[in-house]
Amino acid sequence: MTPGKDVKVLVVDDNALILDLLMKGLMPHCDAQAAADGADALLKIVDDPPDLVVCDYRMPGLDGRQLYEKLRARQQTKLIPFIFLASRGDIEEKLRPIVEGVEEFISKPFFVKDLVRQTKKVVDRLQLEKLQKRQVRPGVIQGRLEEMSIMDLMQSLEMGQKSCRLSIRRGEESCELFFSAGQCKDARFGSLEGEAAVFQAVRWTDGQFEIDFNVAPSRTTISRTTTGLLMEALRLIDEEQHQSSDEDAEVTEG
């Protein structure tokens, strides 16, 4: 399963071009569905509530804030989280007082890749919450790395400020990462410990994972933040890929 595909996101924008761009950006990461305006969105949400709404603020008829307030007034839809797209002025004057259930305010103009990145963080957290509802025993959830990558899991645990043990397994190999309040404090992967263990683990794209919220770190072998770890891991992977492409080029030229 593609990561986040069982998280349903409704994208609402009356500009057909922008709506199309947002849909194309989000579809690889979630079950993205489109609504052409606020009224269309309201009907679709009442019929089949999504897990998240990404909504433009200024729309004819029913605008983004009115849609939000109508959904908040209904028991079945009051807890659906929102991401608002609006000008900086509208955010400060019209939307900033709204805090309950609003995940992000994204100011216009924006790059689609930035919106996708911010939305994906919320999608990953919602995916983790869905997994928690299917827990195999109290405080323990399991899944496959094809559903959520190690980086997505680590980012979600950081956002949720979770304390736990994240165990991953592929064949005979296994790795354990320990988190306290969302920060990865310790990791073990065979003879590797600390950051080196994390940098090896994040390369896995398949396998099984288990998160045990009953276990906390017993030692600290990592000083970087979880975000810092992920940024350094991405840098190392990118560096290796460049080296590999350089080597291929040299062989081809030879």
pLDDT above 70 covers what percent of the chain?
A: 92
Contact 243, 170 (CB under 8 A): no
Q: Specify the residue for token string 């209904």.
A: 74
Contact 101, 82 (CB under 8 A): yes
User: Can you list the alpha helix ranges (DSSP code H) found in the chain?
Assistant: 16-26, 38-47, 64-72, 88-90, 112-133, 150-159, 195-201, 226-253
What's the whole-number mean pLDDT along residues 33-52?
Answer: 94
Tokens of 212: 């045990």
What's the whole-number mean pLDDT along residues 172-191?
Answer: 96
Query: Which of these, 112, 40, 45, 117, lies nearest to 81 by C-alpha position?
Result: 45
CB neighbours of residue 243 within 10 Å: 10
Q: Where are the domains of the chain?
A: 8-129, 135-240
What's the whole-number mean pLDDT along residues 197-215?
Answer: 94
pLDDT band at residue 245, thresholds of 50, 70 and 90? low
On whether the pTM is more than 0.85, the answer is no
pLDDT higher than 50, residue 251? no
The reported pLDDT for the residue numbered 13 is 95
The reported pLDDT for the residue numbered 243 is 74
Q: What is the mean pLDDT of the chain?
A: 88
What's the whole-number mean pLDDT along residues 94-121?
Answer: 84
pLDDT band at residue 250, thresholds of 50, 70 and 90? very low
Instruction: Give the CATH fold of the 8-129 domain.
Output: Rossmann fold (3.40.50)
Question: DSSP per residue over 144-157, as a string?
Answer: ETTTS-HHHHHHHH
Helix (H, G, I), strand (E, B) or coil at 224: coil
The reported pLDDT for the residue numbered 2 is 55
pLDDT in tens, 63-80: 998 999 999 998 999 999
The reported pLDDT for the residue numbered 4 is 58
